């Protein structure tokens, strides 16, 4: 039986964190609030509405989180359509793994965002299963997203590796019983990856490890 590899999306497959950080800072500025980077990091991986509730509560903004979420998402979609870039090594890793492993996505983002990203990258149909936040009760660091993704792939959690760029994602993968592999980006390098089995500098480096792991 094949093993599986689950990819986080934002900050791991694609360089979208820059979009979120800028848009969320802009929204805060509109309400006269300075948005600290620590808040933006804690919002990573959570269900979208939950992350926006945290944003509103911690900044003391008197606005419906759902309204701000709709504003944020529309601006993010515009950026994805016009400025999206894949993380270095993504296409090479997918090409190498697809013949030898089941591939999944486990993301705290919505299906609408995921589908837009896959469309722009030309990756629709590449993944065997996609688990978004739309059908989970609790976002990362809860293991629910990865547990459901493993079920969708038809694999035991012990046969699945998870690629993540954030500490919340690594905590979720570890709690699910998967093999947690970290590929930090420029925004997450300072986070705590002590629960990761390995920490890689890039998807190119992760490819070397995974090609050996999937055949063990």
9-41 confidence digits (pLDDT tens): 999 999 998 999 999 999 999 999 999 989 998
Partners of 24 in the β-ladder: none
| Assigned architecture for domain 3-15+85-213 | 3-Layer(aba) Sandwich (3.40)
Amino acid 53: pLDDT: 96
pTM above 0.85, yes or no: yes
Same fold, 3-15+85-213 and 17-83: no
201 alpha carbon, distance to own chain's centre:
17
Q: Report which of 73, 70, 40, 33 is spatially closest to residue 54, judged by C-alpha positions.
A: 40
The dotted CATH code for 17-83 is 1.10.150.240
Amino acid 46: pLDDT: 81
Count each helix (H run) and each strand (E run) in the chain, helices first.
Answer: 9, 6
CB distance 117 to 81 below 8 Å: no
Count CB neighbours of 75 within 10 A.
17
Amino acid 1: pLDDT: 82
Which residues of the chain carry a pLDDT beneath 70? none
For the stretch 113-122, pLDDT in tens is: 999 999 999 9
CB distance 111 to 7 below 8 Å: no
Domain ranges, ordered by start, for the chain: 3-15+85-213, 17-83
For the stretch 124-136, pLDDT in tens is: 999 999 999 999 9
């Amino acid at each position: 039986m094949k093993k599986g590899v689950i990819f986080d999306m934002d900050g791991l497959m694609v360089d979208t964190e820059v979009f979120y950080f800028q848009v969320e800072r802009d929204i805060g500025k509109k309400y006269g609030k300075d948005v600290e980077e620590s808040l933006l990091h804690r919002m990573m991986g959570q269900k979208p509405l939950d992350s926006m509730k945290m944003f509103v509560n911690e900044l003391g903004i008197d606005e419906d989180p759902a309204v701000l979420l709709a504003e944020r998402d529309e601006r993010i979609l515009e950026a994805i359509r016009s400025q999206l870039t894949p993380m270095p090594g993504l296409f090479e890793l997918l090409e190498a793994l697809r013949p030898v492993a089941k591939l999944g996505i486990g993301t705290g983002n919505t299906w609408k965002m995921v589908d837009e990203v896959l469309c722009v990258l030309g990756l629709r149909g590449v993944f065997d299963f996609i688990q978004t936040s739309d059908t989970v009760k609790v976002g990362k660091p809860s293991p629910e997203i990865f547990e459901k993704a493993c079920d969708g792939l038809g694999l035991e959690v012990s046969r699945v590796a998870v690629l993540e760029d954030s500490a919340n994602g690594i905590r979720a993968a570890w709690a699910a019983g998967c093999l947690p592999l970290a590929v930090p980006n420029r925004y997450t390098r300072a986070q705590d990856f002590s629960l990761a089995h390995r920490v890689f500098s890039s998807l190119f480096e992760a490819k070397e490890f995974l090609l050996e792991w999937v055949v063990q």
